Structure 1
């Protein structure tokens, strides 16, 4: 079985009965969109598969050991690089960790993280167009903190050089927050 198909099946099972924050949209739409963004940008199938699986360890019962067993060490390491290490930390601490980590992460981890943020912003923009400022009430932190986070993510992703997806992310940040 193709690794992308296998990742789609595994992510679908892992995220079954989960929904996007504050909506009735099945959660699986997000990892699939992340994979499509990476595929469209020309990334290897292992990177696309890791993009599809990027939230499984953070948001489901799937472990990195499960991913390594089922998909191999490379994909498990890519997913590990996109997983927040400690959900017990405050939102600010977790986001600051991500901002710092992405400065020196591998190119492929940075691409997956960027595709993740890009789809999140596009989803927020779509919801914003429908419900206005009310959209910010869905998040642990509001518009000001979200703008801070995404602006700093862009700086981190550009720390060792830019790439196409970062430019797209910046366009979405400008569109949503300005």
Structure 2
């Protein structure tokens, strides 16, 4: 079985019965969407697999050791780089950590993180067109904090070599937050 198919199977089992924030949409649609974005942008099979697995360590019972054992060091390193520090930290501290980390992250981590955020913001923009301002009640922090975070992501991801997916994220941030 190739690494992408294996990642799809692993993520499907790991995220079973999870849904997207405040919706009935199966959570797995998000990680599939991230994988598709990475494939569309010509990323490596390891990046695509990591994109599909990017939330497993944060949101399921899988550990980095499980990922390393089943998918290798490279995929595990990308997943680790896309995972926030422990949930014991405040939302602000976790987001500040992410913004600082991405300034110096490998291209592979930056690609997967960008695909994750691009898929998220496109989903938010679609939901915003249906829900309007009430969308922001779904989040631990409202529209202003989301705008701060997504604008910060664009800045942090822009520190390294440019890549086309980042241009798409910039456009989506501008479209949603102005």
Bin the TM-score by the shorter chain.
Answer: over 0.9
Structure 1: which 4+ aligned runs deviate by more than 3 Å? none
- Report 1:1-178 matches (<5 A): 1-178=1-178
Deviates more, 1:67-76 or 1:137-146: 67-76
CA distance in 2, matches of 1:98, 1:131: 28
In structure 1, how many angstroms separate the alpha carbons of the residues matched to 2:23 and 2:94?
A: 24
Q: CA deviation at 1:87?
A: 1.1
Number of paired residues?
178
Q: How far apart are 1:21 and its partner, in Å?
A: 0.1
Separation of aligned partners in 2, 1:177 and 1:71: 37
* Stretch deviating more after TM superposition (29-38 or 153-162): 153-162
Q: State the alpha-carbon separation in 2 of the partners of residues 107 and 127 from structure 1.
A: 30
- Which sections of structure 1, spanning at least 5 residues, go unmatched? none
TM-score by length of 2: 0.99
- Structure 2 distance, partners of 1:174, 1:160, is 21
Deviation at 1:72, TM superposition (A): 1.0
Aligned-residue offset at 1:84: 0.6
Secondary structure at the aligned position of 1:104 is classed as: coil
Checking the alignment, whether the CA contact within 8 Å between 2:107 and 2:160 is kept in structure 1 is: no
Structure 1 residue 162 displacement after superposition: 1.9
**CA distance in structure 2 between the aligned counterparts of 1:52 and 1:160, rounded to whole angstroms:** 23
What TM-score comes out, normalization by structure 1 length?
0.99
